[in-house]
Amino acid sequence: MTELLEQAVERVRALPPDQQDEFARVLLRLTGDDEAVYQLSPEEEADLIEAEAEIERGEFATAAEVEAVFSKYRL
């Protein structure tokens, strides 16, 4: 490992764990590891759980609701 990289790693070690993980993800992407996994926030995870429950209950948007969204955003 070069001295410059060692200096950078030492600085990253002093950061909080969440920031260390973000630096690690960037480094992995730069070195060609495209398998980095996005970490859901607690709010995103709760939304996903609720969406999966809605699917289980058969609760889907109607055609009119979908059309309204498309019209609103001109999709």
Q: pLDDT-derived band of residue 25, with 50, 70 and 90 as boundaries? A: confident
Residues in CB range of 57: below 8 A, 6 or more apart: none
Residues near 61 by Cβ (< 8 Å), separated by ≥ 6?
69
| pLDDT tens for each residue of 28-67 | 888 887 665 678 899 999 999 999 999 999 999 999 999 9
Q: How many CB atoms lie within 10 A of CB 25?
A: 15
Supply the pLDDT for residue 36: 54
Is the pTM of the predicted complex or chain greater than 0.75?
no
Alpha carbon 40 to its chain centroid, in Å, reads 5
